[in-house]
Chain A
Amino acid sequence: QVQLVQSGDDMKERGASLTVSCKASGYTLTDHGVNWVRQAPGRGLEWVGWISTHYGHAMYAQHLQGRVTMTADISTSSVFMELRSLRSDDTAVYYCARERTFRVGPAEIGYSAMDVWGQGTTVTVSS
């Protein structure tokens, strides 16, 4: 079945770097882009960025620009999110989520949604 499996929970010190991996199975990685979304304790969902697994280019949340890099490795069907210069407010559960384009209506207009999610990786940044 289609699934995304993320790397395990991690604890880092402030200022360190973190890499979370997300391995896709049950589908071809390059057929769909992948979003990263995070959720701080007791808070809502925050979009971190998106990577085109076909072309390799990525878009990031503006407030994380310069600290985050997303990459894809087609040979292992995996995407990676690196976050540098970690701060206390980076403490969150990080999710990868496949972005699927649904074709809707007679005109088959494309609408994107995050249809498959990884299990989440809890990242704790200690001061």
Chain B
Amino acid sequence: DIQMTQSPSSLSASVGEAVTITCRASQPISYYLNWYQQKPGKVPKLLIYATSSLQSGVPSRFSGSGSGTYFTLTISSLQPEDFATYFCQQSYNSPRTFGRGTNVEIK
């Protein structure tokens, strides 16, 4: 199985700050990397697919990059509604695997 390692596991940031979350795959997965956002008690929401393609309706302050084994999710200017947990997930093969999540908290 492909292991997905996210870092950091949590971070504190202020509104307006830029934040970057990293995700590493245990083997090359090309661009088969997705990002999801989950708010407490809510359903996960697809943010980015194929490493860098924004899902419809997702604000442009979210961006993704990377390839192979190293990927990043960047929020260019954190907004109050962005405080949530973010998960990466590989769709290169089965079983689909997720990172353990990064909890973005208000500083």
Contacts and interface: CB of A to CB of B under 8 A. Distances in A.
Nearest to B44: A117
Interface residues of B, number: 25
Contacts, number: 67
Interface of B: 1, 31-32, 34, 36, 38, 43-46, 49-50, 53, 55, 87, 89, 91, 94-101
Interface of B is mostly: loop
A27 interface: no
Interface residues of A, number: 24
Interface string A71-85: 000000000000000
Contacts of B38: 45
Given A46-B98, A61-B95, A113-B49, 7 more contacts: A44-B98, A47-B95, A47-B96, A97-B44, A109-B50, A113-B46, A117-B44
A127 interface: no
Contacts of B45: 117
